[in-house]
Amino acid sequence: MAMDTHIQRGLRHLRKSDPILREVIRKAGPFRLNLRHDRFHALALAIVSQQISGKAARSIWEKLKVVADPLSAERIRQLSVDELRLAGLSRQKASYLVDLATHVFEGRLNLNRIGRLSDDAVIESLIEVKGIGVWTAQMFLIFSLGRLDVLPHGDLGVRMAIQRLYGLDELPDRETCHRIAEPWRPYASIAAWYCWRSLE
Residues with catalytic function: 155
User: Considering just the CA atoms, what is the radius of gyration of the chain in Å?
Assistant: 18
Q: Find the length of the chain.
A: 200
Burial class (CB in 10 A: 0-12, 13-18, 19+), 70: exposed
The verdict on whether omega for the bond into residue 70 sits within 30 degrees of 0, i.e. cis, is yes
DSSP code per residue over the chain:
--HHHHHHHHHHHHHHH-HHHHHHHHHH-S--------HHHHHHHHHHHTTS-HHHHHHHHHHHHHHTSS-SHHHHHTS-HHHHHTTT--HHHHHHHHHHHHHHHTTSS-TTTGGGS-HHHHHHHHTTSTT--HHHHHHHHHHTT--S----TT-HHHHHHHHHHTT-SS---HHHHHHHHGGGTT-HHHHHHHHHHHT-
